[in-house]
Chains A and B, each alone.
Chain A
Amino acid sequence: MTKIIEGYLKVAPAVMFDGDVATIDSQSVYYRQLNEAVRDAIAAGAKTVRLTRVNGQRYIGTGVAGSDVRIEIDGVPGSDMAMFMDGPTVVVSGNAQDGVGNTMNAGRVIINGDAGDVIGYGMRGGTVLIRGDVGYRVGIHMKAYESMRPTVVCGGKARDFFGEYMAGGMLVLLGMDTQFPDQPLVGSFCGTGMHGGVIYLRGSVEEWQIGKECGIFIADEADMVELGPVLKDWCETFGRDYDEAVSVPFTKLVPVSHRPYGKLYAPM
């Protein structure tokens, strides 16, 4: 029998503890109550929080801290998942929406599907691994600071503004697991305004797709030493063949200047 759900319900969800594993039935629970339950479960000592029947709730894992915490999401979470997150691991069984890892500090996000726009915006640390395609503005203004170096790997294809204003970290696009075989690997304005970090694209792109602030190179052996472990991580996570991943040469984008706009102004 199909249960008809009339929007989200602003009630606390049922939480079941089994040792340090908390399971929360998320179906039609409003995001505020759901996230409160997640935070409460972690505060009560849960190391793994399983969210079942997630259907679009926003902000799961947002602002949550603790590197020993694991959040498992069965379903499709809503936007801004793992935003401002500081340490936990989040695993999504399905697709994710916009803003995954937005301004994230540390932690690990694994998405066994596609993801939307603005993934990893302003991200400062941690890793986001996506099996499939991503939307627009992915990796905008990712930045690095001292030992913090964010990594985002997208297994499918990406739209425009990939890595725009990038200031640090590593952004990788593989094109291996995509719903859009006929589309180019990446859209336009890739790396526009880039002033730090590195972008690796599996295969080649047209020069017009790339921002003028980027230097375009073929990844050499030294680059593959840096990229290899990241690729292995992605392949192992999603059960793909590493040899297949490295069977195509990678294009490497790095900024030509750390100060692309240093000469734009004339002080009065």
Chain B
Amino acid sequence: MPTTFIQPEFRVEIDYDKCHKCGRCVQQCGWGVYSFNERPIPDDSKCRACHRCVTFCPAHCIRITKNDLAFRESDNWSPDLRKAVWRQAETGGVMLTSMGNPKPYTRIFDSLVLDACQVTNPSIDPLREPMELRTYLGRKPDSVEVEPDGEGGFRLAEGSGMMNNVMLETPLIFGGMSYGSVSLNVHKSLAMAASRLGILMNTGEGGLHVDLYPYQDNIIVQCASGRFGVNPDYLRRGAAIEIKVGQGAKPGIGGHLPGEKINKEVSTTRMIPQGTDAISPAPHHDIYSIEDLRQLIYALKEASGYKPVGVKIAAVHNVAAIASGIVRAGADYVYLDGFKGGTGAAPQIIRDNIGIPIEVAIAVVDQRLRDEGIRNQASIVAAGSIRSSADMAKAIALGADVVAIGSAALIALGCHMCQSCHTGSCSWGITTQKPELTRRIDPEWGAERLVNLVHAWSHELQEILGALGVNSVESLRGSRERLRSIGLDEQMNKVLGVKPVGM
């Protein structure tokens, strides 16, 4: 019997006339595609189309193409579904994948367009005039008192400032990705970049490595259901603390970092033995209600000297009511993660079928908190496939204060979205703990690329604000009047609080 019915997804073609026979492709491939016998010989079945070999081939003689085997057409039984059945018939396992929902659901961001000023209300040139992107993450007071400053102006009255907010130079932070799922060099790149950019990175649920301590003022430390690496020292180091209840790529389920990835260093930051699975239970077993959540929020505040505490949830059907509860429980920010959010490893069936789009979640949560008069009590962080500065601007216009990026940051570091993070053999040295692979990312190089990316998006956001004729990102927040939709149905427009183009 054949061991598998599944044929290679890609073909690795080498133009041997051009090939230097240098063997670099053999060295570079983390998947073990190549063997070498006078010349490199590829095994197509191991290829993940990550392009590491292609990028490093000095002769440019490698081509990765799709293995376009014809399947009898069926709109219902796509080749992917047939392959999944074969794979499960072979293994009996839950299909494991990574890096975000690839299914062709409507991308609402792509059906929204922004406004611009013409003639009557002049646009602003951000190259010439100041354009404020600075954003404060955290609870804002219901009102402030001002007093004369003695020079004809006013200042905030004593004790009337913002309570324990974290200042961000641009409304963007890095989403939680744990050390263990990504390499230490990736964590260092993110931390160094966050520090230089005046924004935040997020530890994910994997503890804080000692090498990141110098950047702790730009780090959110996460407290998730496994409580890995969570101790009083960890809580006091972070600029803010995040309770992770759920994530967009796998709402409602926990996490399993396989024992193979728990090496000595990872075991140290997680404070668990080497080689055992790091199991994060699906729920926090001390949170079964909003009241319990409040109890944990304030426990974290008590233990940390009243740092801001945020709560991250996956965007699900009742997200508005849940977010309202979270804000009332005392969270300083609510982090909404849409169903297209990426992750290191998730069951495919969960990744592709559970959760709702981030665009909808932002709109309904913002509206609900406004309706209840508690919008000022917490910031909204939006994530779950923010792919460009345009998505960032649209998310803010729908009602977010800040966006968070994970996939985009990893793509900046070389991720080619081959969706194989869970294998631990990432050829780009991102989602692996193998020393020969992790050294492929130099943190200094990584930090520079991330800084460049965020600077570029920030400049673009300033351009968008200028076109809108506003000089501060605050003026865009929740300003859905500046959005129009194309091709969305009436009901969706209503949910989003957005008019169609032409109206």
A268 touches B302 (CB 8 A): no
A197 nearest CB across to chain B (Å): 11
- List the B residue with the shortest CB-CB distance to A161: B285
Which of A32, A58, A86 makes the CB contact (< 8 A) with B232? A86
Known pairs A80-B299, A141-B285, A262-B258; A63 contacts B276 (CB<8 A): no
- List the A residue with the shortest CB-CB distance to B92: A266
B 259-277 binary contact with A (CB < 8 Å = 1; else 0): 1000000010001110111
Q: Whole-angstrom distance between the alpha carbons of A212 and B92 in the complex? A: 19
B303 touches A266 (CB 8 A): no
B277 touches A63 (CB 8 A): no
Does B500 count as interface, using CB distance less than 8 angstroms? no
Interface range for A = 35 or more
In the bound complex, residues from chain A placing their C-beta under 8 Å from that of B231 are 84, 86, 103, 105, 124
A92 nearest CB across to chain B (Å): 17
Does B472 count as interface, using CB distance less than 8 angstroms? no
B 287-305 binary contact with A (CB < 8 Å = 1; else 0): 0000000011011001110
A 244-268 binary contact with B (CB < 8 Å = 1; else 0): 0000000000000011111111111
Known pairs A118-B285, A259-B259, A259-B276; A80 contacts B235 (CB<8 A): no
A99 touches B277 (CB 8 A): no
- List the B residue with the shortest CB-CB distance to A60: B302
Known pairs A84-B303, A266-B93, A268-B97; A59 contacts B273 (CB<8 A): no
A262 touches B227 (CB 8 A): no
In the bound complex, residues from chain A placing their C-beta under 8 Å from that of B298 are 58-59
Does B163 count as interface, using CB distance less than 8 angstroms? no
In the bound complex, residues from chain B placing their C-beta under 8 Å from that of A111 are none
B303 touches A265 (CB 8 A): no
Which of A86, A140, A144 makes the CB contact (< 8 A) with B273? A144
| Among B95, B232, B272, B423, residue most surrounded by chain A Cβ atoms (within 10 Å) | B232
A 85-125 binary contact with B (CB < 8 Å = 1; else 0): 11000000000001100110100000000000010011010
A266 touches B87 (CB 8 A): yes
Known pairs A84-B230, A195-B279; A267 contacts B303 (CB<8 A): no
B93 touches A265 (CB 8 A): yes
Which of A35, A79, A164, A262 makes the CB contact (< 8 A) with B259? A262
In the bound complex, residues from chain B placing their C-beta under 8 Å from that of A140 are 281, 285
Does A62 count as interface, using CB distance less than 8 angstroms? yes
Q: Whole-angstrom distance between the alpha carbons of A137 and B271 in the complex? A: 22
B296 nearest CB across to chain A (Å): 8
Count of A-B contacts with CB under 8 A?
Answer: 137
B277 touches A268 (CB 8 A): no
Does B347 count as interface, using CB distance less than 8 angstroms? yes
A267 touches B273 (CB 8 A): no
Q: Whole-angstrom distance between the alpha carbons of A266 and B93 in the complex? A: 5
Known pairs A63-B304, A195-B276, A259-B259; A121 contacts B285 (CB<8 A): yes
A141 touches B281 (CB 8 A): yes
In the bound complex, residues from chain B placing their C-beta under 8 Å from that of A79 are 295
B230 touches A263 (CB 8 A): no
In the bound complex, residues from chain B placing their C-beta under 8 Å from that of A258 are 259, 275-277
Q: Whole-angstrom distance between the alpha carbons of A161 and B286 in the complex? A: 13
Does A193 count as interface, using CB distance less than 8 angstroms? yes
In the bound complex, residues from chain A placing their C-beta under 8 Å from that of B95 are 265-266, 268
Which of B92, B94, B230, B276 makes the CB contact (< 8 A) with A103? B230
A188 nearest CB across to chain B (Å): 15
4 additional A-B pairs beyond A145-B267, A145-B271, A258-B275, beta carbons within 8 Å, are A31-B302, A80-B286, A193-B279, A196-B273
| A-B contacts, 6 listed (Cβ < 8 Å) | A31-B302, A62-B303, A99-B286, A262-B277, A264-B256, A266-B96
